[in-house]
Amino acid sequence: MGRVIAAGVALGLCVVLLGAPPASADSGSLGVRVSIDKEPIADATVPIDPAKQVELQVVATNSGNAPVKVRSVRLSGVALALTFFAYDTTAPFEVPARGTVTRTFVLDLGDLAGQATGLLPSSVELLDAQRVTLGEATTVADVRGSVWSVYGVFGLAMLVLTVLAWLTALLALARHRLAPNRWRRGLRFLPAGFGTGLVAVITLSVLRLVPPEPAIELPVVLGAAAIAFLLGYLTPHPAPPRVVTDSDRTVRLAVPPTQEFTR
């Protein structure tokens, strides 16, 4: 059971550490400025209510000497290196050389409530026919979704796995079943630490306190893992099995059978 829990927490960790980070804001050949409901998204937290339609305005600037053809616009949100929502709108247009084009789209995000909730790093990308990013603008979206969305359920699942990981580690400590080696004891507590960090990142996001950006999530997850490893490393050495000596043995003396005497 403990190995299954550790594997589940480790899987969540691999998603964070090995997931591809989002592209930088200046990638591609177009400069992009975006407004949502007439509010610029640069350096801002943008509220998104799935119950309402969103007006997305894109201003694309081509600083090159050749025209650039845009095929579609994508609005997406990422957390822990996982994409929790993505909306593509096919609207081909061409940005002339040394020119600027403005396009406005109306997006229906009705099903977003079941996909995410809380603060999520988000981006608006312009894609060509081969789905290559020509330019993008990044922001933080405040999604007014449901706790039972995919993102919320993912956080609850990580919480359950983390609690079980701590229970198995502490139960092994109480029963003196941890390994005699300090490093192995530290590794026994490591999955619980990783899970604690992941749960902390998701909780801060859902409570709309801190978005799960790489500059925040990695220090939190790795810091919690380091603390848990240190706790396991410093746990007391498990008590060795008690050796029974001759002095501890109980010697049973044979009792002679009783005899009845008659006079």
Instruction: Tell me the pLDDT tens digit for each residue of 187-232.
Output: 999 999 999 999 999 999 999 999 999 999 999 999 999 999 999 9
CB proximity list for 101: less than 8 A, separation 6 or greater: 59, 60, 93, 94, 95
Residue 255 lies in a domain: no
Does position 26 have pLDDT exceeding 50, yes or no? no
Interatomic CA distance for residues 60 and 136, integer angstroms? 9
Q: Which of residues 143, 161, 183 is at a domain's end? A: 143
Domain shared by 30 and 132, yes or no: yes
Check if the beta carbon of residue 77 is closer than 8 Å to that of residue 120: yes
Number of domains comprising the chain: 2
Domain shared by 136 and 153, yes or no: no
Average pLDDT in the 176-183 region? 90
Beta bridge partners, 54, equal 107
**In sequence order, what DSSP letters do the residues of 39-75 get, joined into one string?**
EE-TTSEEEE-TTSEEEEEEEEEE-SSS-EEEEEEEE
Chain centre distance of CA 204? 11
* pLDDT of res. 176: 87
Q: Which of residues 143, 166, 200 is at a domain's end? A: 143
Q: How is residue 212 annotated by DSSP? A: -
Domain shared by 165 and 108, yes or no: no
CB proximity list for 1: less than 8 A, separation 6 or greater: 164, 168
Residue 243 lies in a domain: no
Domain that holds residue 228: 2-10+148-233
Domain shared by 154 and 135, yes or no: no
Domain shared by 79 and 157, yes or no: no
